[in-house]
């Protein structure tokens, strides 16, 4: 998998492959190698899903029976509807959370911007299932902190929030996915110059009118992009729905897919059932193009222009209040209760000295036979994934950007394709394609790292391509004119220039990899367990104290690594290098 | 040796707490080679060559399972135990995935759904091994599989737990059918038969006693449905729900730590769960698995389970005075065949009735 850079390092295609293709251009060999890697990582698992959805489990003969089975049951159909409802709800709410905050930070004089930014980053690194546990502790209908507060304050017999419901699930997922909207919209707004706003102002429009009629319409593509990502993340999510939807008595597609893996394992039916997710995703992107494609958004040119801060007056405190409200829902409240639980003997007993203990941590680190290994695995796999994905993406972005090979767009397309494959579907594809012999990767670290690499390839590619675009080919050409080879040019010119942006891209892959559950759940073995899967297993028992402690360990290590990253590359890597 | 253990319980009761159980007190035999039987020595030597063991278990809560694993590592230094605790159906799901992928990861499988073993034996996926200790367990746990492919290595009861701050003992339900009374609307906590083998066996038993109408009526009471049966303990502790169909061991262990919990042994019978273990065919660490099988049926392992309010496998290990064991109350249990056929059926029925 580290093949990305290695293959790039051998454009001549030495060795057997090289001799066999000696009649081809060297760049052709490189193209073939890259295509082969991408076919292995992306195309083959997906094709495998499509094919097996039409196969009889035992004989492999063609059949429609899997579809009949998968959709011949009202409960399973209902799961599809529920998923769509969840996705729409999350996208809408994430937009309501993300857009105003992005606007306030980018364009206004709202105070405490640094703090809000930090909180948004906090929401970005919080795994949705951990947020879900926090919200179970906050809004369990009878036992949640918020409900207890409400009952104590009003004397009511029961609470007012019920996390075990569709609205509950929507809120829980939305507060962890609004950072996508924020990042998209914020970076787009940063590029819109004030000229058009000025024009509107001159023509008599107030701040509000200008914002809604001029500023926001200019960043519609970014808003739609963010909403679509939120929608897609929500419908593909497994952990949070498993924690919340089951007690709430409904299924979504991902929890239903999990059921197909019960005995007897029905991969074929699961494949058939996962098709709507794929179709919905493709439709979404088609929709995005249809909406955006017809209009011009040339104002976002990326070129200069003056940007003025909008003065909100007293309203800036209202804006801060709203931002604080969102941050409280996303980070402050759930993190407070999770920390309380992590250090509590019994979380239900509340904050008191005799309820404080380090026992949950010592249990995990010294008595639990799996936790240590899972912690190491998580960060090793995530690190390896980040290197592999960035290496491959960079090689491809380079080839595409410098137009070294024909049909380079096909490479770019394959790189971006995993974007439209929900993680849980991808995992099923990997399981079907690579778990059994001949590759027999089940239970190995390799299958996890490969699946993660595929999963995060689009992020890596987008970030790498953006980095490369900013560097003109002229400097490399200078090296080559002076007699240096392409490798020298890459090593001496490109690599140093790209260092910072690569570190940013690395973090953008690394952080989501540390929290990845949906694609890990079907691929882990007992010795390749990662924190997310362990959290999921522990959550069955409802042992929230130990769960929270493990979640805290995950977040502390992630934040430490991210903080080192910030030092290396400057503060807002998230905003600058994200799509 | 038993005397030694008894004093350990006294320490525990004296408030030294669970920590003592976890690490401090685990030095009962120090695996001196002199005390080992010939078979044990032979297995240990071979197991040490293998170096490790992967154990999927649904028999206990995570802490008990991990203590058992750590105790084994102390008794037999040089063998590392990976303890993966999940519910029975999730453990079986992972094993099924491994079988389908042709890459067996697990060595020893301990689920709480005895039907799994009937199936695995039938498909020739279990390795035959008759532990020496199989002859030394209590009569009622002997000979579940005369052919020697699987053995009962733990047992426990499903009864009714309740939160003592929210419910007085006099108001508590007395038998299972009380749970369908409208009085318990929004107050009952359950696990899920699609995950937990304990819950699956309990549902099969209830269906046998009262028909599926019992669950139709129970559904009208809007019970909270988790996954593992152990989850009901959390729900009671948190005050989320008031009454559970819950595991005796985990509930009582939690009560002993000071949580406001108590147990009702229903007059129509607590459901006794006998949970087997079996070695999978073609595993990477067969000798370690055999040694672990012996260990699970040993007095040492029974002691840990008894200390955490589980049932003993061995006649010479008895629970502390005052602890209610299966022999002290009325218990009921379905036959192996009823479980084997029944659990897959009730999972389907459950999903139709409860929607998940």
Q: How do the domains of chain B map onto residue ranges?
A: 2-154+275-325, 156-272+329-354
How far is it, in rounded angstroms, from Cα A484 to Cα A472?
Answer: 17
Q: What one-character-per-residue DSSP string does A74-91 give?
A: HHHHHHHHHHHHHHHHHH
- With CA atoms as reference, the chain A residue closest to B54 would be A526
For residue B44, how far is the Cα from the chain centroid?
Answer: 26
How far is it, in rounded angstroms, from Cα A572 to Cα A558?
Answer: 16
Q: What φ, ψ does residue A437 adopt, rounded to 5°? A: -55, 155
B223 touches chain A (CB under 8 A): no
Q: Is the pLDDT at B5 greater than 50, yes or no?
A: no
- Residue B34's pLDDT band (cuts 50, 70, 90): low
Q: What angle do CA A411, A417, A419 make, to 5 degrees?
A: 135
| Residue of B66, B102, B234 lying closest to A437 (CB–CB) | B102
- With CA atoms as reference, the chain A residue closest to B343 would be A263
Q: How far A166 CA sits from the closest chain B CA (Å)?
A: 14
Domain with CATH 1.10.3720.10 in chain A: 80-267+295-345, 358-422+443-579
A150 touches chain B (CB under 8 A): no
Phi-psi group of A519: left, alpha or beta (phi > 0 → left; psi -120 to 50 → alpha; rest → beta): alpha
Q: Is the pLDDT at A246 greater than 50, yes or no?
A: yes
In DSSP terms, which residues pair with B247 in a beta bridge? Answer: B158
User: Under an 8 A CB cutoff, do B89 and A263 touch?
Assistant: yes
Tell me which architecture the domain covering B2-154+275-325 has in CATH.
Answer: 3-Layer(aba) Sandwich (3.40)
- With CA atoms as reference, the chain B residue closest to A441 would be B103
pTM given for the model:
0.87
Q: Does domain A80-267+295-345 have CATH number 3.90.850.10?
A: no
Mean pLDDT of all residues belonging to chain B:
90
Question: Which of A289-303, A552-566, B177-191 tops mean pLDDT?
Answer: B177-191
Of A284, A280, A273, A286, give the one whose Cα is nearest residue A49.
Answer: A273
Contacts of B191 by beta carbon, 8 Å cutoff, 6+ apart: B87, B198, B199, B225, B226, B227, B228, B229, B230, B231, B232, B245
pLDDT-wise least confident of A59-73, A377-391, A485-499: A485-499
A60 touches chain B (CB under 8 A): no
Of B292, B303, B317, B285, give the one whose Cα is nearest residue B107.
Answer: B285
Q: Is the pLDDT at A4 greater than 60, yes or no?
A: no
B124 touches chain A (CB under 8 A): no
Q: Could you tell me which CATH number the domain at B156-272+329-354 has?
A: 3.40.190.10
pLDDT tens column, A250-300: 999 999 988 888 877 788 888 899 888 888 888 887 887 787 766 555 444
User: Under an 8 A CB cutoff, do B61 and A541 touch?
Assistant: yes
- With CA atoms as reference, the chain B residue closest to A143 would be B240
Residue A200 pLDDT: 84
User: Under an 8 A CB cutoff, do B97 and A522 touch?
Assistant: yes
User: Under an 8 A CB cutoff, do B226 and A246 touch?
Assistant: yes
Q: Helix or strand or coil: residue B143?
A: coil
Residue A305 pLDDT: 61
Q: Is the pLDDT at A26 greater than 70, yes or no?
A: no
pLDDT tens column, A141-200: 988 999 999 999 998 888 899 999 999 999 999 999 999 899 889 988 887 778 878 888
Rounded mean pLDDT, B342-348: 95
Residue A307 pLDDT: 73
Residues 29-68 of B with CB under 8 A from A: 54, 56, 61-63, 66-67
Neighbours of A135 (CB within 10 A): 28
B106 touches chain A (CB under 8 A): yes
Residues 73-92 of A with CB under 8 A from B: 75
Q: Could you tell me which CATH number the domain at A358-422+443-579 has?
A: 1.10.3720.10
Residue A318 pLDDT: 95
pLDDT-wise least confident of A372-381, A404-413, A441-450: A404-413
Q: What one-character-per-residue DSSP string does A420-486 give?
A: GS-HHHHHHHHHHHHSSTTT--TTSHHHHHHHHHHHHHHHHHHHHHHHHHTS-THHHHHHHHTT--H
CB A548 within 8 A of CB A339: yes
Rounded mean pLDDT, B137-152: 96
Rounded mean pLDDT, A382-400: 92
Q: Is the pLDDT at A338 greater than 70, yes or no?
A: yes
Q: Is the pLDDT at B309 greater than 90, yes or no?
A: yes
User: Under an 8 A CB cutoff, do A140 and B227 touch?
Assistant: no
Mean pLDDT of all residues belonging to chain A:
85
Looking at per-residue pLDDT, the higher value among A171 and B26 belongs to A171
Residue A322 pLDDT: 97
How far is it, in rounded angstroms, from Cα A296 to Cα B209?
Answer: 71
How far is it, in rounded angstroms, from Cα A381 to Cα A516?
Answer: 11
Q: What φ, ψ does residue A357 adopt, rounded to 5°? A: -160, 155
User: Under an 8 A CB cutoff, do B66 and A367 touch?
Assistant: yes
- With CA atoms as reference, the chain A residue closest to B225 would be A247
Looking at per-residue pLDDT, the higher value among A204 and A12 belongs to A204
């Amino acid at each position: 998998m580290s093949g990305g850079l290695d293959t790039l390092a051998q454009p001549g295609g030495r060795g057997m492959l090289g001799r066999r293709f000696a009649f081809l251009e060297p760049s052709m060999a490189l193209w073939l190698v890259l295509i082969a890697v991408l076919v292995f990582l992306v195309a083959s698992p997906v094709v495998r899903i499509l094919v097996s959805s039409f196969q009889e489990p035992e004989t492999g003969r063609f059949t429609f029976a899997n579809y009949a089975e998968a959709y011949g049951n009202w409960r399973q159909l209902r799961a599809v509807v529920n998923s769509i409802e969840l996705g729409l709800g999350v996208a809408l709410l994430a937009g309501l959370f993300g857009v105003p905050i992005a606007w306030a930070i980018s364009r206004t004089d709202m105070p405490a911007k640094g703090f809000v930014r930090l909180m948004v980053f906090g929401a970005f690194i919080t795994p949705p299932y951990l947020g879900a546990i926090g919200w179970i502790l906050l809004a369990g209908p009878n036992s949640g902190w918020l409900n207890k507060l409400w009952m104590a304050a009003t004397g009511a017999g029961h609470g007012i929030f019920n996390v075990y419901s569709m609205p509950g699930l929507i809120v829980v997922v939305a507060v962890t996915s609004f950072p996508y909207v924020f990042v998209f919209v914020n970076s787009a707004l940063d590029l819109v110059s004030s000229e058009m706003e000025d024009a509107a102002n001159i023509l008599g429009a107030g701040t509000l009118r200008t914002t809604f009629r001029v500023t926001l319409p200019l960043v519609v593509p970014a808003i739609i992009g963010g909403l679509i990502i939120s929608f897609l993340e929500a419908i593909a999510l497994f952990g949070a729905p498993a924690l919340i939807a089951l007690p709430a008595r409904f299924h979504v597609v991902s929890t239903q897919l999990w059921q197909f893996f019960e005995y007897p394992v029905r991969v074929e039916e699961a494949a058939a059932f996962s098709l709507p997710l794929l179709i919905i995703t493709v439709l979404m992107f088609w929709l995005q193009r249809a909406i955006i494609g017809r209009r011009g958004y040339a104002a976002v040119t990326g070129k200069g222009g003056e940007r003025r801060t909008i003065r909100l007056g007293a309203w800036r405190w209202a804006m801060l209040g709203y931002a604080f409200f969102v941050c409280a829902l996303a980070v402050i409240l759930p993190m407070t209760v999770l920390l309380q639980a992590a250090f509590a003997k019994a979380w239900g007993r509340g904050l008191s000295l005799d309820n404080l203990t380090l026992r949950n941590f010592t249990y995990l680190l010294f008595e639990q036979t799996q936790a240590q290994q899972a912690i190491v695995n998580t960060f090793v796999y995530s690190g390896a994934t980040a290197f592999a994905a960035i290496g491959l993406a960079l090689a491809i972005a380079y080839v595409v950007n410098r137009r070294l090979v024909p049909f380079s767009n096909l490479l770019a397309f394959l790189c971006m394709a995993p974007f439209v494959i929900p993680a849980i579907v991808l995992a099923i594809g990997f399981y079907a394609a690579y778990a059994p012999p001949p590759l027999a990767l089940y239970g190995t670290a390799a299958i996890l790292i490969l699946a993660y690499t595929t999963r995060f390839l689009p992020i890596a590619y987008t970030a790498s391509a953006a980095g490369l675009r900013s560097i003109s080919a002229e400097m490399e050409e200078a090296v080559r004119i002076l007699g240096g080879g392409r490798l020298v040019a890459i090593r001496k010119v490109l690599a140093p220039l790209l260092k910072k942006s690569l570190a940013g891209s690395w973090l953008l892959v690394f952080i989501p990899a540390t929290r990845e559950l949906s694609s890990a759940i079907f691929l882990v073995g007992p010795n390749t367990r990662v924190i997310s899967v362990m959290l999921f297993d522990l959550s069955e028992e409802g042992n929230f104290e130990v769960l929270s402690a493990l979640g805290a360990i995950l977040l502390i290590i992630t934040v430490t690594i991210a903080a080192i990253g910030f030092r290396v590359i400057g503060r807002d890597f998230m905003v600058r290098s994200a799509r | 040796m038993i005397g030694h253990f008894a004093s350990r319980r006294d320490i525990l009761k004296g408030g030294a707490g669970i920590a003592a159980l976890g690490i401090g007190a685990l030095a009962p035999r120090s695996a001196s080679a002199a005390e080992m039987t010939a078979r044990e020595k032979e297995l240990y030597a071979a197991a040490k060559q293998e170096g490790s063991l992967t154990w999927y278990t649904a028999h206990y809560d995570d802490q008990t399972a991990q203590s058992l694993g750590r105790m084994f590592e102390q008794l037999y230094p040089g063998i590392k135990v990976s303890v993966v605790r999940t519910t029975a159906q999730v453990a079986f799901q992972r094993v099924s995935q491994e079988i389908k992928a042709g890459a067996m990861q697990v060595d020893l499988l301990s689920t709480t759904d005895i039907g799994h073993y009937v199936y695995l034996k039938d498909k020739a996926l279990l390795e035959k091994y008759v532990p020496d200790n199989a002859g030394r367990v209590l009569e009622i746990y002997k000979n579940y599989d005369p052919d020697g492919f699987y053995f009962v290595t733990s047992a426990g009861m499903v009864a009714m737990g309740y939160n003592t701050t929210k419910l007085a003992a006099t108001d508590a339900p007395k038998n299972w059918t009380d749970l369908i009374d409208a009085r318990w609307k929004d107050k009952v906590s359950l696990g899920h038969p699609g995950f937990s083998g304990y819950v699956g066996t309990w549902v099969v038993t209830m269906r046998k006693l009262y028909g599926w109408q019992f669950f139709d009526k129970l559904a009208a009471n809007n019970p909270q449905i988790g996954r593992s049966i152990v989850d009901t303990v959390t729900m009671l502790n948190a005050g989320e729900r008031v009454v559970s169909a819950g595991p005796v061991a985990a509930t009582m262990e939690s009560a002993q730590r000071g949580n406001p919990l108590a147990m009702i042994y229903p007059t129509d019978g607590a459901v006794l769960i006998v949970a087997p273990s079996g070695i999978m065919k073609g595993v990477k660490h067969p000798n370690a698995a055999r040694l672990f099988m012996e260990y699970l049926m040993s007095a040492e392992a029974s002691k840990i389970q008894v200390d955490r309010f589980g049932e003993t496998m061995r006649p010479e290990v008895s629970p502390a005075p005052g602890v209610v064991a299966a022999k002290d109350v009325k218990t009921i249990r379905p036959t192996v065949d009823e479980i084997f056929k029944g659990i897959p059926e009730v999972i389907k029925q459950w999903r139709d009735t409860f929607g998940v």
